[in-house]
Amino acid sequence: MLVSVLLWAALEMQRSPYATYQDVAQAQPVPFSHQHHVAGDGIDCRYCHTSVETSGFAGIPPTKTCMNCHSQIWTNAPLLEPVRESYRTGKSLMWTRVDYLPDFVYFDHSIHINKGVGCASCHGPVDKMPLTYAANSLQMEWCLNCHRAPEYFLRPRDQVFNMKYEQPSSDNPVKLADGSVFTDQIALGNELKHRYNVRSVEGITSCNTCHR
Amino acid sequence: MSQGPEEKTGLLDAPWQDEPPVLTPGQSYGSVTDQIADAVLTRPIGLGWLAGLAIGMGLVALLGAAVTYLFLVGVGIWGINIPVGWGFAIINFVWWIGIGHAGTLISAILLLLKQTWRNSINRFAEAMTLFAVACAGMFPLLHMGRPWLGYWMFPYPNSMGVWPQFRSPLVWDVFAVSTYATISAVFWYVGLVPDFATMREKAQSRYTKSIYGLLAMGWRGSARHWKRYEALYILLAGLATPLVLSVHTVVSFDFAISIVPGWHTTIFPPYFVAGAIYSGFAMVLVLAIPIRHFYGLQNMITMRHLQNSAKIMLATGLIVAYGYIFEAFIAFYSGSTYERFMMENRWFGPYAVFYWALILLNLVVPQVLWIPKVRANTTWLFLISLVILVGMWLERFIIIITSLSRDFLPSSWGHYVATRWDYAVFAGTLGFFAAAIFIFIRIMPAISIFEMRQLLPESEVKAK
Amino acid sequence: MSHKALSPAIYGLIAEFDTSTELVEAAQAAYAAGYRKMDAYSPFPIEEASDAIGFHKSRVPLVVLLGGLLGGLSGFGLQYWINVIAYPLNIGGKPYDSWPAFIVPTFEMTILFAGLSGMFGMFALNGLPMPYHPLFHVEQFSRVTRDKFFLCVEAADPKFDIVDTQRFMQSLKPVSIAEVPH
Amino acid sequence: MEKESPNKPEAVCPGKLELAEVKQKLARAKSGPQYWRSLEELAQTDGFYEMLHREFPRQASVWPEGSPRRDFLKLMSASMALAGLAGCVKLPLEPIVPYVRQPDEIVLGRPLFFASAMPFGAYATPVLVESHEGRPTKIEGNPDHPAGLGGSDVFAQASILDMYDPDRSQTITYRGAMSTWSAFTEALKGPLNSEKAVSGSGLRILSRPFSSPTMASLMEAVQAAYPESKWVKYEPVNRDNVRAGSQLAFGEFVETRYNLGKADIILSLDGDFLSSGFPGFLYYARTFAARRNPDLKEKMSRFYSVESTPTNTGGKADHRLPVRASEVAQVASAIAARLGVGSGATAKPEHQKFVTALVKDLQAHKGAAVVIPGDNQPPAVHALAHAMNAALGAVGNTVIYTDTVEVKPQIQTDALKELFGDMNAGKVDLLVILGSNPVYDAPADFEFAKAMDKVPLRVQYGLYQDETYDHVHWHINGTHYLEEWGDGHAFDGTVTITQPLVAPLYNAKSAYEFIFSLVGSSEMAGYDIVRKYWQGQMKGGDFDAAWRKAVHDGFVANTAFPSKNVSAKGPTLSPTTGDKGGAPDTEVMFRRDPLIYDGSRANNAWLQETPKPVINLCWDNAVLISPATAKKRGLVTGDVVEIDINGRKVKGPIWPQPAHPNDSITVFLGYGRTKGGRVADGVGFDAYEIRTSDAPWIANAKITKVGSGYGFADPQGFQYIDYSDLPKGTEPLKNRHIIRKATLADFIQNPNFAHEEEESVPPEMTLYYPYQYTELKWGMTIDMNSCIGCKTCIVACQAENNIPVVGKEQTMRGRQMQWLRVDTYYEGGTENPAVYYQPVPCQQCENAPCEVVCPVGATVHSTEGLNDMVYNRCVGTRYCSNNCPYKVRRFNFLLWQDWTTPQYKMMRNPEVSIRSRGVMEKCTYCIQRITHGRITAEKENRSVRDGEVITACQQACPAGAIVFGNLNDKDSRVSKIKAQQRNYSLLEDLNTRPRTTYMAVVQNPNPELEQSESS
């Protein structure tokens, strides 16, 4: 009895935000607001995360990228002092990672984007995050949800960076470049799986897909 | 189910021999009860006992130290390497598990075979089983590279979405050994309940009284209870019998399932089980002979028990011998070049001396048990039992080390040399076992009281 | 009639015997005399005794059987689900459903569940653990765990009458008779 | 810049396409200097270091023992239950440290490739260097380079570790105390001026020989500034004999180049041309292997080897004649005589048969035969070889003479002797030592240290504060070739450019900058020095373009030296024997170590731990002796003997080595370092102590037993495929069909020989339906006929896959970690056995025995047929290894990864998990490279091209013996090879169905000699 209770508690704890930091906003040197920059200013993800389409690593913007704008606007907002200081001294800003993967997991951004996995699918509604937090647990079982049934999540490539994108439904049909219209995610997903020739489920649930 | 001594029809009671009795005459319900219970309740703590316990505890401390160092530094402190990935840890595991088997055999199988003489030795035989399994159980965990992840062997819904790999004999081991441990414990405890009641009543101090009372769960010997109790007891025996056979079979699968020459053979299951009982009874004698001597239980654990055990050792020993012979025969009959080389390597290879020692200790020496005089001499029995225990340990050494050290590709042949840490851990478990036994005989009735009562002639209900 | 009122005050009457034979005979006699709510107590199991008091079959075997079945099915089910449905993996070129390999754990699970359900079933049916019982008040009853045999006729028995029953018990030539208070 | 080429595949390995991309990158970079400054600037920011240490998630471990987490877990592992749960639950927060200004060419998470060159001896070895975020992480061969042909050698592969070696000298010192560059230049002004006054008569520069034109120009500048000064070039493993030989033959120094591609008959006179470090090794290995393909039928070449110390070269010979080094001369002259060269001695009776058959064969192949003398053979033998080659009409066909690649060659020992004399005579006021370590490796009869101490001012420029360091005033820490600009000539003369991959870790000066500072009034950056020189050379046309191309390609096309007309002057004197000194008893043969060379590589743990070719000994040098002689003298393995050459003594342990000539011993140079670094020090014994200038290669010595019980680390368990030292009558190992071989003749009439004896298992023997691999299906073949046993693949694998080293003691316990091993088997007694090399990586069995027994499913099959090893799932039961018939799995018995040294963090390949204590690991077919190729292909909506994924071992193999690819693609090279009949799999009868298969050995013995084979 006691044993099973403890076991259950352990399993719960293991999945709890305490362990995964899911939905926990981290303190950052600069309280950077994705909400403001993405929703407000309408800046595209790729402006800062430059290598997301070409490399496994999405890329953290160098201080220079911040200064591109902030040398013009908010030039002396005290909030941005750390940024300016970093630029002056050449000392890097030390951000705290919010979307954390263990070191033995090899995640490649470019291929996911190429296969029509939206940023939001993993990172959540970044455009609604005043302070950034991990929207998902990023635990293996969570990854497997999609790797076992991609059709539930795929979206057209041109919608990958669209934060407003919603899955097709009768009142929200999704139109592909070639004009075909979908009102049902499964149908769309299967079509995209075919078009983007996504590997077989056995293939993308093979261990070496993520672990080396 | 109980029967008097006069109508003995047990397998092992050869009619042409006049047997010593199971229970010396002149006993009564009261006398057996008192004698057994008092050994625990009133008998003063002897120096011998203290010394024994001290030694045991000392070795347990050694075990603790060795294990701590092991976890901090890694299994590299042992002699294992590539190709010999398994060393003392697995040898000891198999050895201890084997020893456990005799206990279950006595308590379960002999019960089913209506061998009432087992009533006087089943209790501590079962205790022995439990402690041996506990010792064995440590090793699979200790020998892991990352023991703190040992729980991955059990199926539980983890956040990784992955499960144990059920094709692996190691997972079978996990199931078999844990089940075996559990069922043995159940069997043992169920058997103890009525005796705990006795202790409850006999105990003087409030303190001990309440403890035994707790354990007895309010047992009051109602006929209805006895009825259900007996039903369960028989059923447990019926469950434990296939279980005990399965456990060493599964352990032998660890080897038989693999493709290593010298491991990959179908004869392993029966020959492992036989070997297990062989070493198990050896351990029973190694324990029984001193206990009956020091606690003056000669009238309950009589020569009869010792002789029967000796006969069983002789029988199982011959099965084991058959195993050895057949291993060799198959090696050549199979025509497999690897098998042949394996056998020749055992005979002439770097570990040949151990092989021949094994043959001497396990096959040759025990043959003296054919001689009734030897079976009747406790000293001889004790020594032979020790010899067999060593021999059986060597058998596992031979199987594991020689087979691994020279397998398929000559380029990757290796050599295994145990380190002091290997010995430390082994000695530690021996100490743990000894300490456990010493404590057990001080706090629990070492002989099943209520089953002893059944051995008394007056326990019979005379139909008029 | 009058003293019938007293009957609830006590749990029952208990008679003490020296041998199992006497106990069994006593029990048979009591049963013949029409007593039903009674029980025999002995230091070791006596088959005849339970028969004598009219208790013929226990339900323990059934419990064990059900436990075993449950264990076996869940054992195999778990393995099948894991290997074929939850996460099929190519292990050394073996098929997902390599059932021969699943037999061992299935077997062990069967034994485990059967054994555990057996033990808990037995205790449950026996109403154990029961730290308190009226009989424990009876001084000589403590010897039931040593060398004495007892027959207890409970007051709850419709035919129970403190006087008649006592008289009847005397006829069984017990070593002693005692009232068992609540 | 990535935006410009979004779809370009990543340069995971230098196939054409990737190079094309690197080209673009460089073309786009405005011009060299700025391009590089960007990296230097980046290198100086703290951000850079912070990033190196923390940014890259791939700098990772098998969690839960990751670098930041390990301490935390150490605590936990004490109390298991806790560690168990907590360990699997709580992830610690990690910082991310971005750049401040990100250099254009760097795309986070994607490697770049740069061509460069490793100066080795007097030659430049072309390489291609992989760089992650500005950290060089892996050396590969440069496929475009005419002298490299894409292969590489152990030294190139291991050089990456040299660069990150924490023992490297990190600062300038004066009399042992930290100092600065400016202090040094100040301090030297005076002495230099006074030297100027006496036109440098007191200035001596001691350097290693080099081929760098720029350095040559600097050398001239020094001569100009200090006319009387002398520049001495010396290396202990020198080619004096070669030089002297060519002088004997031609009266001048010439470079000899062989064209094995044209050679039908090859005769080696102790010529070790198939081992790393031999000039032109890469080229020879590739061309030799090409001609050993039995499908060429009678065009397959035949190789005779007259050899003293057994080498992997001799192991490839169809006929090998083991003789003492001093006897080679005699055999050579006997052969020469038969060829009408010189009035040679007659061969010993036991050599007659060999010589006769050989000569016949040579004469039958005039114009297509070649004689290759060894560097350790006396000049006379070289002269003879030249003459023989002439007589065989080899010159112009299989032998080409050119100008020497080395700049201003000299007889180095003589030059050093002169310097020694001058120092003793007090003629030297200022001694500048450039990268050499004379105190350790100068001939014993020059007590160099003593002489040196007589020099008033001594300056050392070098990478290590080594033995010589104790005897100098100034020590200037030098740059590794990956940190400096430079140039050189490949063995064929091709101009080869060295470009830095990273700014000097300990901001050191390059040798060029250093020498320049001695002559130049002002200082100049290495880049400018080299570029300026070439600006002078590349006249006409657009220099910038030409220069960029040169830098990018790593070489200048068609700059190989033209062949030179020289004629051997007449029949040379017929030599008697090799150089000798000392009382005759046992002949000592000094040899450079096959792996740590002359000792300069001694601090490289990868090289130390790699088993030496053929000998399979690591972490030691030994006294090699033939088993027969050992028996005769009552010596057994591990006995310690004292070698006495004219009173100079050294003690070394005995190692009976099959195929070693009798009555002689071999000692490898380069061990017994005292100030070589944490790895080098105290390993082996120092043979330089008994090596004198008059007998640098062959000497006579007395050996006496002085001890015993020395323990060796020899990873390979058992080397005889036939009986030898197994109890007689035991089941013959031959029946395992591990090595399958035939003679060319047999092969031609029975191409299927490889499958005759085996009882191969029909696929239907299994109960189960075989798993269908529909997607990619990876497989590998290893051609044992091409494999030359040089072990380069092992080091390449170690570098690529972050494989730790375990040290001698652990290797002795049988816990070496290298994923790939090269099994070496002997057959036919110990006198002169046939030798076979068999590289064994994970066989990637389709019916993998290891997978079935893993209790946690840590090793399972992928849909591409890979036997995945999931480190992070492994609990370490080691059952998989027990059940692996090939024993290719490696286990982290202890914590062997170095988590603390920052240099190593920078060195590791970020694409590969770093395994920690308690987990199993093994060859993955370079899964990181496969994944890369697959993802790249998928992003371009195409299937993976053949040759797009190249494993590290395949890339490194100089002989091209390893081929990897997709078996579902019927046109892939690997499928084609697997279709051949020579193809077989190891332990086939176990029905493990390996994906790695072998091409059986086919030898091409001379029918006349066949009978006498196998002593």
| B neighbours by CB contacts (3+ pairs under 8 Å) | A, C, D
Q: What is the residue whose two structure tokens read 């010595």?
A: D701
Which has more pLDDT, D574 or C67?
Answer: C67
Smallest Cα distance from D1013 to chain C, Å: 43
Residue B412 region, left (φ>0) first, then alpha (ψ -120 to 50), else beta? alpha
- Collapsed DSSP state (helix, strand, coil) of residue D321: strand
Q: Do the Cβ atoms of C126 and B228 come within 8 Å?
A: yes
B residues 162..201 contacting A (CB < 8 A): 162
A residues 86..145 contacting C (CB < 8 A): 144
pLDDT at A170 over 80: yes
- Which of D973, D962, D984, D995 has its CA nearest to residue D777? D995
* Amino acid at position D609, single letter: E
Q: Which residue of D has its CA nearest to A58?
A: D108
Beta strand pairing call for D457-462 and D430-434: parallel
Asked if residue C134 has a cis previous peptide bond (ω within 30° of 0), the answer is no
Q: Do the Cβ atoms of B146 and D876 come within 8 Å?
A: yes
Lowest-pLDDT choice from C19-33, D261-275, D716-730: D716-730
Q: Do the Cβ atoms of D2 and A54 come within 8 Å?
A: yes
Both structure tokens of B184 = 């043995």
Q: Any CB–CB contact under 8 A between A202 and chain C?
A: yes
pLDDT category of residue D436 using cuts at 50, 70 and 90: very high
Top CATH class, C10-57+135-181: alpha beta
Position B445 scores a pLDDT of 86
Residue D134: CA count within 13 A, CB half-sphere: 29
pLDDT at D994 over 70: yes
Q: Do the Cβ atoms of A11 and B161 come within 8 Å?
A: no
Q: Which residue of C has its CA nearest to D994?
A: C92
Query: Where in chain B are the domains?
Result: 5-155+164-459
Q: Do the Cβ atoms of D769 and C91 come within 8 Å?
A: no
Domain B5-155+164-459: which CATH number of 1.20.1440.230, 1.20.1630.10, 1.10.1520.10, 3.30.160.110: 1.20.1630.10
Contact residues on chain D for A13, CB-CB shorter than 8 A: 85, 89
Which of B159, B161, B162 is nearest residue A14 as measured by Cβ atoms?
A: B159
Q: Any CB–CB contact under 8 A between B161 and chain A?
A: yes
- Which of D397, D473, D405 has its CA nearest to residue D433? D473
Q: Any CB–CB contact under 8 A between B266 and chain A?
A: no
- CATH code assigned to D743-757+777-1003: 3.30.70.20
User: Tens digits of per-residue pLDDT, D109-164?
Assistant: 888 899 999 999 899 999 999 998 888 999 999 999 999 888 999 999 999 999 99
Contact residues on chain A for B156, CB-CB shorter than 8 A: 7, 11
Contact residues on chain A for D46, CB-CB shorter than 8 A: 90-92
Mean pLDDT score of chain C, rounded to an integer?
Answer: 85
* Fold adopted by D586-707: Barwin-like endoglucanases (2.40.40)
pLDDT at D441 over 50: yes
Contact residues on chain C for B1, CB-CB shorter than 8 A: 45, 47
pLDDT at D92 over 70: no
Q: Do the Cβ atoms of A211 and D110 come within 8 Å?
A: no
- Collapsed DSSP state (helix, strand, coil) of residue D345: coil
Q: Do the Cβ atoms of D771 and C91 come within 8 Å?
A: no
pLDDT at D66 over 80: no
Which of D845, D852, D863 is nearest residue C94 as measured by Cβ atoms?
A: D852
- Between the alpha carbon of residue D950 and those of residues A83, A199, D20, D45, D956, the distances in Å are 43, 22, 17, 35, 10
Q: Which residue of A has its CA nearest to B155?
A: A7
Phi, psi of B69 (to 5 degrees): -60, -40
Q: Do the Cβ atoms of B162 and A140 come within 8 Å?
A: yes
Position D85 scores a pLDDT of 36
pLDDT category of residue D763 using cuts at 50, 70 and 90: low
pLDDT at D488 over 70: yes
pLDDT at D761 over 60: yes
B338 neighbors D736 (Cβ within 8 angstroms) = yes
- Which of D615, D998, D610 has its CA nearest to residue D838? D998
Instruction: Tell me which H or E stretch contains D141.
Output: strand D135-141
| DSSP alpha helix (H) spans, D173-239 | 181-197, 213-225
Q: Which residue of D has its CA nearest to B65?
A: D78
Mutation site, D616, D733, D856, interface B, largest B CB count within 10 A? D856
D residues 88..107 contacting A (CB < 8 A): 88-91, 93-102, 107
D residues 702..741 contacting C (CB < 8 A): none
Mean pLDDT calculated for residue range D692-721: 90
Position D627 scores a pLDDT of 92
| C neighbours by CB contacts (3+ pairs under 8 Å) | A, B, D
Q: Which residue of B has its CA nearest to C145?
A: B198
Span(s) in chain D for CATH 3.40.50.740: 68-237+406-516
Smallest Cα distance from A8 to chain C, Å: 18
Q: Which residue of A has its CA nearest to D864?
A: A203
pLDDT at D10 over 60: no
Position B305 scores a pLDDT of 86
| DSSP alpha helix (H) spans, B203-267 | 206-216, 223-256
User: Tens digits of per-residue pLDDT, D675-689?
Assistant: 999 999 999 999 999
Position B34 scores a pLDDT of 80
Q: Do the Cβ atoms of A141 and B156 come within 8 Å?
A: no
pLDDT at D54 over 60: no
Query: Where in chain C are the domains?
Result: 10-57+135-181, 60-125
Which of D845, D849, D857 is nearest residue C89 as measured by Cβ atoms?
A: D857
- Which of B400, B371, B399, B402 has its CA nearest to residue B384? B371
Position A118 scores a pLDDT of 92
- Between the alpha carbon of residue D946 and those of residues D311, D779, D972, the distances in Å are 35, 12, 6
Span(s) in chain D for CATH 3.40.228.10: 240-402
Q: Any CB–CB contact under 8 A between B148 and chain A?
A: no
B434 neighbors B59 (Cβ within 8 angstroms) = yes
A residues 73..92 contacting D (CB < 8 A): 86-87, 90-92
Which of C91, C112, C147 is nearest residue B182 as measured by Cβ atoms?
A: C112
Residues of chain C short of pLDDT 70, as ranges, are 1-8
Q: Do the Cβ atoms of A14 and B162 come within 8 Å?
A: no
| A neighbours by CB contacts (3+ pairs under 8 Å) | B, C, D
| D neighbours by CB contacts (3+ pairs under 8 Å) | A, B, C
Both structure tokens of A164 = 């407003």
* Fold adopted by D240-402: Dimethylsulfoxide Reductase; domain 2 (3.40.228)
Smallest Cα distance from A23 to chain C, Å: 28
Smallest Cα distance from B173 to chain D, Å: 10
Contact residues on chain C for D860, CB-CB shorter than 8 A: 89-91
| DSSP alpha helix (H) spans, C40-161 | 47-52, 60-80, 99-125
Smallest Cα distance from C31 to chain B, Å: 14
Mean pLDDT score of chain D, rounded to an integer?
Answer: 85
Residues of chain B short of pLDDT 70, as ranges, are 1-19, 21, 463-464
Both structure tokens of A36 = 């403001």
Mutation site, A4, A5, A6, A11, interface B, largest B CB count within 10 A? A11
- How far apart CA D905 and CA D921 sit, in angstroms, is 20
- CATH code assigned to D68-237+406-516: 3.40.50.740
pLDDT at D790 over 90: yes
User: Tens digits of per-residue pLDDT, D323-338?
Assistant: 999 889 889 989 998 8
At residue A96's C-alpha, the angle toward residues A90 and A97, to 5°, is 120
Which of B33, B179, B236 is nearest residue C146 as measured by Cβ atoms?
A: B33
A residues 2..21 contacting B (CB < 8 A): 7, 11, 14-15
Residue D176: which residues within 8 A CB-CB, separation 6 or more?
none
User: Tens digits of per-residue pLDDT, D194-251?
Assistant: 998 998 899 999 999 999 999 999 999 999 999 999 999 999 999 999 999 999 889 8
Which of B190, B198, B220 is nearest residue C119 as measured by Cβ atoms?
A: B190
Which of D847, D862, D863 is nearest residue C93 as measured by Cβ atoms?
A: D847
Q: Any CB–CB contact under 8 A between A178 and chain B?
A: no
Mean pLDDT calculated for residue range D874-893: 94
CB pairs under 8 A between A and C: 4
Position D311 scores a pLDDT of 94
Q: Any CB–CB contact under 8 A between A162 and chain C?
A: no
Q: Do the Cβ atoms of A202 and C87 come within 8 Å?
A: no
